[in-house]
Amino acid sequence: MKKLLTIFMCAMLLLVACAEKEAEQPVEKEDATVNEQEQASNETEQEAQEEQVEDEGLTLENDGVDEAKFQELLASLPAEQPERIVITSVPLTEMLYLLDVEPVGVPTSTNPIPEAFQHIAQVGSPMTPDLEVITNLETDLLIGAKSLQSSLDKSLEGLNLTTAYLPTDSFEDLKLSFKVLGTYLGKEEKMNEVLSSILDKENELMKLAEGKELPRVLLMIGTSDSFMVMSENSYLGSLVKRLGAENIATTDLKVDSTYSAVNLEDIIISDPDIILVLASGDHGASEEKFKEEVAKNDAWTKLSAYKNEQIHILDYSTFGVTSIMNVENALTKVADYFVK
């Protein structure tokens, strides 16, 4: 009898377990269906926004700024708005100037800051600012470039200071960070004035390029002793990408880094239509240095860009440093090489 009872109890437990498992499966399936529906909805919304841009152009309501990144960066800033801001990045300093917000400290840099901010205390290098100066300024919030976050965090170690970091490396970064700062600081009117002007320029250049075959481009930068290829991750690369031209560093050379060594053999095989060289005697190799490079290696002369006189030397002050105050000019000048 005990054996029969034991067998009966085991059977009942097995039935209960099976029933619970069956009950759980539809929930998992339902969750998966909901996730798939949400993903499909997001993709549909993104496609609709892209179609709207194509039909109507960029607007303040559809400005091309990544909404998820915008919300993430906005949430990273302190809830209480600071009164005393120190900026350690020149591009971010320009943004505060355009928003009519005066910081208590600005970076010390060879790159110029707005004339109206020349009287403000300088806090030292963007990478290693002077901690004593920052402390004496009774800083509420220090804002730096995202690309220098690890170096800055190390420099500021041990200092009880609220920090925030915003990206400034590309054209997209400039629009994103400017929108974040304008929204956070309650300067939407000033922000919209600047963004509207940039969006108008984008729309103008996109319209100009409609129906035209854009060139295949090689971007190079001169260092102190050599030249390197620039990908679309560079500032100049982001401008070229925004204008819709093909950067062979990405499509043909398959480079992963922002800056890569020149492989002339691969460049000859790719044979770009235009070569843009970012060179400055102050920041690296000069225009003369590039001419010497071509003279000592006649393989350069086999390129269509050389034969068609489509190798152009670009000014470092315009294309070597990200600047929201100069971005419309930079976009226009690059577009001039593509759309004649």
Same fold: 67-201 with 211-338:
yes
205, with CB counted inside 10 A (0-12, 13-18, 19+), is: buried
pLDDT band at 83; cut points 50, 70, 90: very high
Chain segment 31-54, per-residue pLDDT in tens: 555 455 555 544 455 555 555 555
Mean pLDDT of the chain: 86
Task: Tell me the C-alpha distance between 54 and 175, whole Å.
Answer: 19
Q: Which of the 8 DSSP states describes residue 231?
A: -
Domain ranges of the chain: 67-201, 211-338
Report helix, strand or coil for 81: coil
Q: For residue 154, how many other CB atoms are within 10 A of its CB? A: 10
Chain segment 183-201, per-residue pLDDT in tens: 999 999 999 999 999 999 9
Task: Tell me the C-alpha distance between 199 and 164, whole Å.
Answer: 26
Which range has the worst mean pLDDT, 53-67, 215-229, 274-288? 274-288
| Best CATH choice for the domain 211-338 from the list 3.40.50.1980, 1.10.10.10, 4.10.410.60, 3.40.50.300 | 3.40.50.1980
What is the pTM (predicted TM-score) of this model? Answer: 0.83
Instruction: To the nearest 10°, report the CA torsion of 257, 261, 267, 270.
Output: -20
Cα–Cα distances in angstroms (integers) from residue 232 to residues 99, 107, 142, 250, 257, in the given order? 28, 27, 29, 7, 9
Query: In CATH, which superfamily holds the domain spanning 67-201?
Result: Nitrogenase molybdenum iron protein domain (3.40.50.1980)
